[in-house]
Amino acid sequence: MAILRFSREGYGVMGRFIVGGLSAALLWLCAATAEAADIDVKASSGPGQSTLIRLSGPFRQGDAEAMRQLFARLKARSKVSPNAPLATVELSSLGGDLIEGLKIGYLFRDYDVATVVRKKDVCLSACALAFLGGTAAHGSGGPSERTPRQTLEIGAKLGFHAFYLNPNSAQAPTAGDPVQGRRQGFTEARAATSAVMLYAADLGIDPRFVAAMMTRLQEEFAYINTTEEFLTLKVCPLGLARPPISPAEQALNICNHSTGWIDPASPAQVRAMTARQAKRYMLENIQQNMSSLRVNGALSDQLASYPVMRDERAIDRLYADLRAAGVRLPAIVGPVFEVSGYRSGGEDMQCFVSLSLDDPNQYAVAIRRPSKWSHPNWSAPRDCRGLYLHDRDAVINPRP
């Protein structure tokens, strides 16, 4: 592994961080050779397509600059579709230089570069930190309005651990002055911790994850395995199968995720409904709360007409018209389940899920509150909505 060198100056647009007091090259992330990472352009961009790049081998000084030059050239000549990444980088590395990994992660963020770890690859330490910079696009608000694009194929290994000091560095404190050595080691570690914490804040990573990573033993890796870990780090699993549980249990998991796992419901609180029963139930509930809806004219007249509930075709039309008018009723895409037992602000709530049995990413959720229907407060990532079908503690990518 290359010796880490860290300038006292900021790194331009890539994070604009300033860390003082990091003098010598003492921080390493894992054992590796001294060779630089390999950068291989596997497929050039075509009309509306992003470039595919493979980054493998240990991270060392100079790799971030090489990536920056490559991304700058791609940006100057490529025309990708709106909201599509400039490039996608496949990562395969056991780690390397900590600060170089952070720089590369900032490059992924600033140049809108997506990241992926393939199922036969391993991405550890500095590589894992860089992976978290994967970005598809930015909003008008700049770096803070980032759309993450970090994909992990099921079977791949993504692991984090605490950085550590390199006692073999030529610039390390000598054994003849242990007091000075401890002081310098503390200074180095504090500065590196600050850099990692700032990196996490810049990318919107949960600080609790970073704190847990920092307190682990340096030889102990934290692999991303559970549903909750994927959601916390905004990592999308590729090739995730539907969980081997009943549709009712899947609906329960969706509702518990959608309500933030605050006093989660139990299987006994799930009720299956046919599409016809669900529509009739929801429309009758809306009839009881018409004053809270901003529905006028013909729709209001239909809602006020109780005989309409005896006509199945009229129910279908009214349900579709109310959804088109903006009432937050769920689309019916398959079996419907009601999950009760939730409370918010002292009020009871019910969660309704319509679940496709063919596509694990296709389902609809609505929350019934005492006086209105609403979308849930928490929603699954757009490109991997199937995560919500799994219990938050389920191991969806078994550790090696």
In angstroms, what CA-CA distances link 356 with 107, 279, 330, 359, 389? Answer: 39, 16, 12, 6, 11
Contact yes or no for 161/220 (Cβ under 8 A): yes
Q: How far apart are CA 32 and CA 34, in angstroms?
A: 7
Q: Which residue has the higher pLDDT, 189 or 11?
A: 189
Q: Residue 377: what residue type?
A: N
Q: How far apart are CA 309 and CA 389, in angstroms?
A: 33
**Residue 296 DSSP symbol:** -
- pLDDT value for 27: 45
Q: How far apart are CA 312 and CA 315, in angstroms?
A: 5
Contact yes or no for 115/88 (Cβ under 8 A): yes
Q: Which helix (H) or strand (E) holds 303?
A: helix 298-304
- pLDDT value for 5: 29
- pLDDT value for 345: 81
Segment 183-207, tens digit of pLDDT: 555 556 667 778 888 998 999 988 8
Q: What is the mean pLDDT of the chain?
A: 81
Give me the mean pLDDT over the 96-124 stretch: 95
The structural domains of the chain, with segments of one domain joined by +, span 27-238, 247-389
Segment 15-38, tens digit of pLDDT: 333 232 333 333 444 434 456 789
Contacts of 346 (CB under 8 A, 6+ apart): none
- pLDDT value for 333: 96
Tokens for 391, please give them. Answer: 């219990």
- pLDDT value for 170: 46
- pLDDT value for 298: 65
- pLDDT value for 291: 54
pTM for this model (two decimals): 0.82
Segment 334-387, tens digit of pLDDT: 999 999 999 888 889 999 999 999 999 999 999 998 878 888 989 999 889 999
Segment 324-347, tens digit of pLDDT: 988 889 999 999 999 999 988 888
Phi then psi for residue 183, to 5 deg, are -65, -45
- pLDDT value for 213: 76
Contact yes or no for 393/226 (Cβ under 8 A): yes
**Strands 51-56 and 38-43, how do they pair?**
antiparallel
266 band by pLDDT with thresholds 50, 70 and 90: very high
Helix, coil or strand: residue 396: coil
- pLDDT value for 167: 52
Tokens for 350, please give them. Answer: 């019910």
Give me the mean pLDDT over the 45-50 stretch: 63
Mean pLDDT lowest among 146-155, 214-223, 227-236 = 214-223
- pLDDT value for 135: 95
Check: CATH 3.90.226.10 for 27-238?
yes
